Structure 1
Amino acid sequence: MSIHTNIQSTRPRQTTGNQVRPLLMLKSQPKRNAEADAHVDFLRISKRTCCTQQDHASTTGCPEPPYTLPDAVLGKPERKSIYAIMRQHCRSRLYVPPICWTLEHLELLGCEFSSKEVPQNERRRKSPNSDVSQVSDDGTVAVEKMDTTLGYAVRAARLLSRPCAMEGRVSAVISILAACGIEAREMHNSLPFHFDRRIVSIQTDGIFTSESATVSLAYINLDVLHSLRSQHIRQKFLPRTRVRGRLNSPVASLIRKNICRLKPENEIVDPYIVAALIALAQHQYRRREQLRSNTATGVPSTEQENCFPRPFKVHLLAVPGIAARELYLYAARIPPAFLDKFDQPSKFSPSGPISVAYYSLPLRNARKLPKRLLDALCAPVE
């Protein structure tokens, strides 16, 4: 009995006439290094960017400013800069629009509210029987003893203490501020908030200018502010076509949770007020830089350095509720170094803390309101 052993040959089999040779041989590609690919792509992007800048400079004749890549590519931001603070507090939601700011934003930026008493003017101390005291309780005004603008302001103050439409409240605020020499701006009521070459609109109910035609005061109704915040949160969870539609229970619960989280415990110290003051200061800063560039040839550099570095004085008037019992005037002095933090958030700009002073102006005595508001506007700000 013989045992036959079958030995398979390692040679490739010869194809016969009935067998078909495959037309395409698929081979697995070797694994590529992800870091090497990223480096190659980055070099391609850099070369493409440099070529684009050179082409632009050759066609226009003006040098193109260098393209700023994100900090993740160039390196870490400077210590104590806004981007460095965001990375240090990465678990907090800091990179949000101003409508979603919280007290944590103010603390990290070095901003705080402080309640102040309205200082009494020295002229009013010497002459207590001023023109405002000539107004009777029913609102009648003696034309020979009182200016017409001041009489409108007194009646407007009485109107604010009663329930009225939103347009009537805006007209009343315009009349009160007109008695203080502050005029309403005829343009839109939004302020641009600049942050790292990005612009976010700060919605207000009125923007006013002083005698120098510079935007220096904004008016905000706190009830409208709460509505804007709620609308912004609803748009985050729902598309615009379904904002007014019916909500299911989980989504409605998330919306209520976010509204309660962002709603300040005290509406008088709403962080959105600080953002509006910063936007006012940014507007003055850019206007001043424009005037500085226009007059750079005719004014010596020493005089420019002495005139321009002063801080910007900005105000905001807030009206709480439908039938308000008092007005709140906010005042702050914001230096240019603080505004540079928002223009270049990856760089550190040394500046001191910002103190936002606010004054309570009761409406129960409408005859004294215009003068008290004027004293608060003229009060020195730290």
Structure 2
Amino acid sequence: MASQSSQDRALSINQILRQNPRDQLYVEPLKWTHDHLRHLEVSFVEPKELHPFDPVSRDSKLWDTVNFTGRNELSSQEVRLRAVEDLLQKADKSLSFEDDLYLCFHRKQQKLDCTFSLEPGQDIPLAAYVDHMSIVAKREGTVKSKLKSKSTNTSIEISKSKSELKLKKITPENPLYDPFIAAILIALAQAQQRATTVSRPHTKDKVVVDPEDLKPLATDGRTYDVRLLVNFREDACFMLYKAVISSAFLAKFNDLDYAPSTSAPMKIELSDIPFKPRISLHRRAFNELFPERQGTGGDSDERSTDSEKSPKNKTRASADSNEPSSDSQGPYSESRGSTDSYDVDSSYHDY
């Protein structure tokens, strides 16, 4: 299989698609695999060190909200989303959030399942948040077959087996390095580039930027600093993903025939933001997501939470928890399937 590396001549996206017709690369971001990252020259930088694992009491308000799990997973995701928004607004009440982030592919676009915040008074996206369980649920939905009303038990089982096989092929072995995370970061950078291209007052109406107008920006030398906060359920920390994306990298999506004169890679750094101490979580999360603003929030309403103060409760929480110990990799080490080729998908739509 032909691939692109920093030592090879840079290829345009159309060239990559033509040279790899059997890989079925033209699919929605939820179906991206390691192959997409390799061809696009996207890589995750291995974290030097993550904080020692320290379980949070399941009895705390923080755990109840940020890791809320109810009978309905969709409603649970909504509760967790509101909890994170409230947490960040505790540090800066001027923050606003939207959920219409799109990955643009020349004149086509795909809405991504995440929430992002805007620069107050402007349409410039600053950072995004996504619940990893929502990625898992949405990905499962992309492979489910529509059964006919008269389907037999045998046909149902066959359909189920096919769906499971497809899901296995597009599920990353290590969720910490989920390709969908890269797609969100790219979409954030695209949104920043588009927002700064058109000078206009703040308005709820979205202004679509013609990708032809973005072509001259390929060599402007600008970079876009993007950040993403991810909540992995059953974990005692947020994961923070950061990338500085160049105009040359984005140009490959604006012009599918554009091949950078030199390699234009994208590197994603990751670190963790432990929940503890809970009293400062809102400030720490805010300052990591918005370093240029450095918000200062009020004191946490969980200052006197018993689980923080009582050694007895700490011991009970550790005993009750099914979490791994500090020297374990937790859910990130779980093997979740290969990254082989998969079916063609046409969910991108024109704008």
Give the TM-score range, shorter chain.
0.5 to 0.7
1:280 pairs with one of 188, 193, 209: 188
Amino acid in the other structure paired with 1:210: E
Distance 1:245 1:356 in 2: 47
Tell me if 1:167 matches 2:78: yes
1:103 pairs with one of 9, 34, 57: 34
2:13 pairs with one of 50, 59, 82: 82
CA pair 112-182 structure 1, distance change in 2 beyond 3 A: farther
Q: Deviations for 1:12-60, whole angstroms, at most 9, x for unmatched residues?
A: xxxxxxxxxxxxxxxxxxxxxxxxxxxxxxxxxxxxxxxxxxxxxxxxx
Q: CA deviation at 1:102?
A: 0.3
Distance 2:111 2:11 in 1: 26
| Percent identical residues | 25
Tell me if 1:271 matches 2:182: no
Q: CA deviation at 1:223?
A: 0.8
Could you say which residue in structure 1 is the equivalent of 2:251?
340
**Aligned 1:22-37 pairs, distance under 5 A:** none
Amino acid in the other structure paired with 2:117: F
Could you say which residue in structure 1 is the equivalent of 2:336?
none
Q: CA deviation at 1:79?
A: 6.6
Could you say which residue in structure 1 is the equivalent of 2:160?
252
**Aligned 1:315-330 pairs, distance under 5 A:** 315-321=227-233, 323-330=234-241
Could you say which residue in structure 2 is the equivalent of 1:354?
266
Greater relative contact order, per chain length (Cα 8 Å cut-off, separation 6+):
2
Distance 2:232 2:43 in 1: 20
- Pairwise CA RMSD: 3.3
Q: Secondary structure of 2:117's match?
A: strand
Amino acid in the other structure paired with 2:110: V
Distance 1:202 1:358 in 2: 20
Q: CA deviation at 1:210?
A: 3.3
Distance 2:250 2:187 in 1: 9
Contact 2:125 2:188 in 1 (8 A): yes
Q: CA deviation at 1:110?
A: 0.8
**Aligned 1:142-153 pairs, distance under 5 A:** none
Q: Secondary structure of 2:112's match?
A: strand
Q: Deviations for 1:202-229, whole angstroms, at most 9, x for unmatched residues?
A: 121x221234632121211111111101
Q: CA deviation at 1:169?
A: 1.3
Amino acid in the other structure paired with 1:284: Q
Distance 1:245 1:358 in 2: 47
Distance 2:129 2:92 in 1: 15
CA pair 182-156 structure 1, distance change in 2 beyond 3 A: farther
Q: CA deviation at 1:346?
A: 1.6
Q: CA deviation at 1:97?
A: 1.0
Q: Secondary structure of 1:258's match?
A: helix
Higher helix share: 1
Could you say which residue in structure 2 is the equivalent of 1:10?
none
Contact 2:97 2:118 in 1 (8 A): no
Distance 2:80 2:61 in 1: 12
Contact 1:157 1:369 in 2 (8 A): no
Distance 1:266 1:182 in 2: 35
Q: CA deviation at 1:333?
A: 1.1
Q: Secondary structure of 1:91's match?
A: helix
Q: CA deviation at 1:116?
A: 4.2
Q: What is the number of equivalent residue pairs in this alignment?
A: 250
5+ residue gaps, structure 2, are 1-8, 51-56, 71-75, 201-216, 293-351
Tell me if 1:372 matches 2:266: no
Contact 1:317 1:328 in 2 (8 A): yes
Distance 1:104 1:284 in 2: 26
Q: CA deviation at 1:196?
A: 2.5
Q: CA deviation at 1:179?
A: 3.9
Could you say which residue in structure 1 is the equivalent of 2:302?
none
Contact 1:118 1:372 in 2 (8 A): no
Q: CA deviation at 1:200?
A: 1.4
CA pair 163-228 structure 1, distance change in 2 beyond 3 A: closer
Q: CA deviation at 1:156?
A: 4.6
Deviates more, 1:348-357 or 1:263-272: 348-357
Distance 1:158 1:217 in 2: 24
Could you say which residue in structure 2 is the equivalent of 1:144?
none
Distance 1:109 1:201 in 2: 20
Could you say which residue in structure 2 is the equivalent of 1:70?
none
Distance 1:253 1:238 in 2: 13
Distance 2:173 2:269 in 1: 18
Distance 1:93 1:275 in 2: 17
CA pair 230-83 structure 1, distance change in 2 beyond 3 A: same
Could you say which residue in structure 1 is the equivalent of 2:5?
none
Could you say which residue in structure 2 is the equivalent of 1:207?
116
Distance 1:163 1:229 in 2: 19
Q: CA deviation at 1:334?
A: 1.0
Could you say which residue in structure 1 is the equivalent of 2:142?
232
Distance 1:94 1:330 in 2: 24
5+ residue gaps, structure 1, are 1-77, 120-136, 140-153, 293-304
Q: CA deviation at 1:182?
A: 7.7
